Amino acid sequence: MTTPTPSVTPSLTLHHFALSGHSHRVQLMLSLLDLPHEIVPVNLRKGEHKSEAFLRFNPFGQVPVLQDGDTVLFDSNAILVYLARRYDPSGRWLPNDAKGQAAVQAWLSVAAGLVAFGPAAARLITLFGAKLHADEVIARSHQLLQVMEGVLGRDDFLVGSSATLADVAGYSYIAAAPEGNVDLAPYPNVRAWLARIEALPGFVPFPQSAVGLSA
């Protein structure tokens, strides 16, 4: 059963921090779906995400937050699922069959786990001075990339031959991995995958920072 296409123009507002890969994956999905939206910057350095007003949107005090009319959503992967279900009746980004959904969900879990505690964490050290063990998170990043290299040697995208939410969720922090001193040079299949995502109609880049190997 497919999701009906909304009959009204969406009123979408993304509360966003430009250097957040979690924010970027939602911005990327909105653009890939060609959905008009407003971006409201949230200044994390000034603590706007911990303000009383923002905590009414997300009690965890994290970006991104998406408003769709009266609907307010937090957690980037949950937002991706919502956008695909509400605005992609084709099922291209989140398949309608149980097997396809499960395959995408597995990679959303990877994005929330191994990506977040690997490449994303490594970048937190160099970009924001996070007190983490660099050797540990870099090693974890390479373990993930080795698995991805094998998967992407068999298929163009993480779940088959076309892009899905799995790729959108994984892209930002993998693309920015060199900023956390995680070298992508040994992974040609991963780099080719990044290029394929960047060639998608509607792609928007993740802002680069001159830190780590990208300095």
Tokens 């031959």 -> residue: 161
Measured in residues, the chain has a length of 215
HEC per residue, 4-62:
CCCCCCCCEEEEECCCCHHHHHHHHHHHHCCCCEEEEECCCCCCHHHCHHHHCCCCCCC
Both structure tokens of 178: 């060199």
Annotate 174-212 with b (16+ C-beta within 10 A) or e (fewer): bbbbbbbbbebeebebbbebbebbeeeeeeeebeeeebb
| Residue spans of alpha helices (H) in 152-180 | 165-175
**Count of domains observed in the chain:** 2
Chosen domain end from 32, 57, 87: 87
Reported as a single tens digit per residue, the pLDDT across 143-172 is 999 999 999 999 999 999 999 999 999 999
5 in any annotated domain: no
Q: Is the residue at 114 inside a domain?
A: yes
Domain match, 19 and 116 both: no
Q: Is the pLDDT of residue 5 over 60?
A: no
- Give yes or no: residues 81 and 109 share one domain: no
User: What is the CATH number for 198?
Assistant: 1.20.1050.10
Looking at the structure, do residues 191 and 112 belong to the same domain, yes or no? yes
Domain match, 78 and 103 both: no
Domain assignment present for 3 = no
Q: Same structural domain for residues 196 and 164? A: yes
* Residue 11 in tokens: 């009123």
Domain region containing 167: 98-214
Give pLDDT, residue 55. 81
Q: How far apart are the first and last CA of the chain?
A: 49
Residues 56 and 104 both lie in one domain:
no
What mean pLDDT comes out for the span 130-154? 97
Give a yes or no: residue 119 inside a domain: yes
Is residue 92 one of the residues assigned to a domain?
A: no
Give the per-residue pLDDT at 50: 73
Percentage of the chain exceeding pLDDT 90: 82
State the average pLDDT over residues 96-124: 97
Q: For CA atoms 110, 116, 120, 121, give the dihedral sign.
A: negative
What's the rounded mean pLDDT across residues 8-36? 92
By percentage, how much of the chain surpasses pLDDT 70? 95
Q: What is the pLDDT of residues 30-58, one digit of tens each?
A: 999 999 999 998 877 777 777 787 788 87
Record the pTM. Answer: 0.91
Q: Taking residues 7-21, report their average pLDDT.
A: 84
